[in-house]
Amino acid sequence: MGQAAKVLQLFKRLHRTRQQVFKNDTRALEAARVKINEEFKSNKNEASSKKIEELIKIGSDVELLLRTSVVQGIHTDHNTLKLVPRKDLLLENVPYCDTPTQKP
Tell me the per-residue pLDDT of 39-74, one tens digit each, with 9 for 90 and over. 999 998 989 999 999 999 999 999 999 988 888 888
104 domain residue, yes or no: no
93 domain residue, yes or no: no
79 domain residue, yes or no: yes
Q: Please determine, for residue 104, whether its predicted confidence score (pLDDT) is greater than 70.
A: no
Grouping H, G, I as helix, E, B as strand and the rest as coil, residue 101 is coil
99 domain residue, yes or no: no
18 domain residue, yes or no: yes
Residue 94 CB neighbour total at 10 angstroms = 6
Domain that holds residue 10: 3-88
Q: How much is the pLDDT for 103?
A: 66
Q: How much is the pLDDT for 72?
A: 85
> What is the domain count for the chain?
1
Q: How much is the pLDDT for 31?
A: 95
Q: Kind and range of the H or E element at 75?
A: strand 72-77
100 domain residue, yes or no: no
Q: How much is the pLDDT for 64?
A: 92
Side chain identity, residue 33 = R
Q: How much is the pLDDT for 10?
A: 96
Judge contact between 18 and 33, C-beta under 8 A.
yes
Q: What is the average pLDDT across 3-12?
A: 94
Judge contact between 33 and 15, C-beta under 8 A.
yes
How many residues in the chain? Answer: 104
* Predicted TM-score (pTM) of this structure: 0.77
Judge contact between 51 and 39, C-beta under 8 A.
no
